[in-house]
Structure 1
């Protein structure tokens, strides 16, 4: 009898294995320190095969960023309750964002820490992702103003600024939640749930937005 031939792994599956290994390696070692040898070993393939499929370290890193970017945007979009009021839509989108970043901390580390600090091509990929999310939040804040009957009172620039502030706060909260959890009453580490973290941001941002839609504005005294 002849030797049993091993089943050939399809290229698409093999590439995903390489990308999985690359995400872990880039997140934990950093882009500069990560080597193609490490990535190949983590993926269980030879280094020449990584180069054959993904050409170079830069192209591999770009492929990782694009995959993680698409996954995050898809998670936020899928979490949104489309027929709900604007505040509920935003809250459900935030829950999706925080749940995804908590479940995929290595992917979030690549997007939030590595890609933004290692050259313009990588940073531009993340900027495009951020622009998508900011546009989504801008639309929801505009819809909330319309629901409150004050669509004309919140200028487009003000709405856009609020959206950027909310997205920036969400990014900061995700970083805090994933890497520096609060200490519990008895010293144990506590992880904030996606629901609780989203509620924290909604209480901060939406309460203020509610006052703005009621015509209230803060002004320095004196």
Structure 2
């Protein structure tokens, strides 16, 4: 007689990943309010009890989907080590916008914004979690770049100032493209211009921090 009970840990993890991937698909397509656990269960090929065992409510599932996706999208390798400091910051800027301006990310952000009135606590919690994770991820990148001889003596890159400097970098490089993407049903125009924007914004950022390229 076969043993019954909980599935092996690796199988349980596979089921959870399948549920989260299905929920991502449904939330992006339907929004938070339009998504249902029934549809998520169908897409995930999992029973509703399997979902509720892992996530106590649709709100809990939505929060986990958004935070996991942001964490996955925000995973960044070290910035390019070749080129001068301006080129390296430009590469970092391009990497940031490429990771952020994706159909799934923009769809989830629209869903979060749509819940700001109906579910303000949910939207606010997700907003601050995304902001904290994004700042921490990019700050590691900026801290590495700040070791370069050309800029390490600049006050903006002093350890105490690094969190604020990082937020300014994010605001200049990413925020305009993210705002633009939220208002475009077709992201093609945004994706076409985002790399040039990131390079120009990174160069502007460095000048604002007091860096003057040799020969400028």
Distance change in 2, residues 1:148/1:181 (3 Å): farther
CA distance in 2, matches of 1:153, 1:10: 48
Does residue 1:40 correspond to 2:41, yes or no? Answer: yes
> Aligned Cα RMSD in Å?
3.7
Q: Is the 8 A contact 1:68 1:107 kept in 2?
A: yes
Determine if the alignment matches structure 1 residue 197 to structure 2 residue 194.
yes
Structure 1: gaps of 5 or more residues: 1-7, 184-188, 215-222
Offset from partner CA, 1:93-135 (integer Å, 9 cap, x none): 3333333334x4223432x344464424323321221221452
2:129 alignment partner, one of 125, 130, 153: 125
CA distance in 1, matches of 2:48, 2:185: 37
Residue 94 of structure 2 contacts residue 195 of structure 2 at CA under 8 Å; is this kept in 1? yes
**Secondary structure of the equivalent of 1:78?**
coil
What displacement does 1:29 show?
Answer: 2.3
Which protein, 1 or 2, shows the higher relative CO under an 8 Å CA cutoff with sep ≥ 6? 2
- 2:163 equivalent to 1:166: no
TM-score (norm 1): 0.67
Unaligned ranges ≥5, structure 2: 1-7
Change (3 A) 1:182 1:34: closer
Flag the 1:134–1:68 CA change in 2: closer, same or farther, 3 A: same
Aligned: 1:49 with 2:53: no
In the superposition, relative to structure 1, how do residues 161 and 28 fare at CA in structure 2: closer, same or farther (>3 Å)?
same
User: Shift in Å at residue 71 of structure 1?
Assistant: 0.8
3-state SS of 2:32 partner: coil
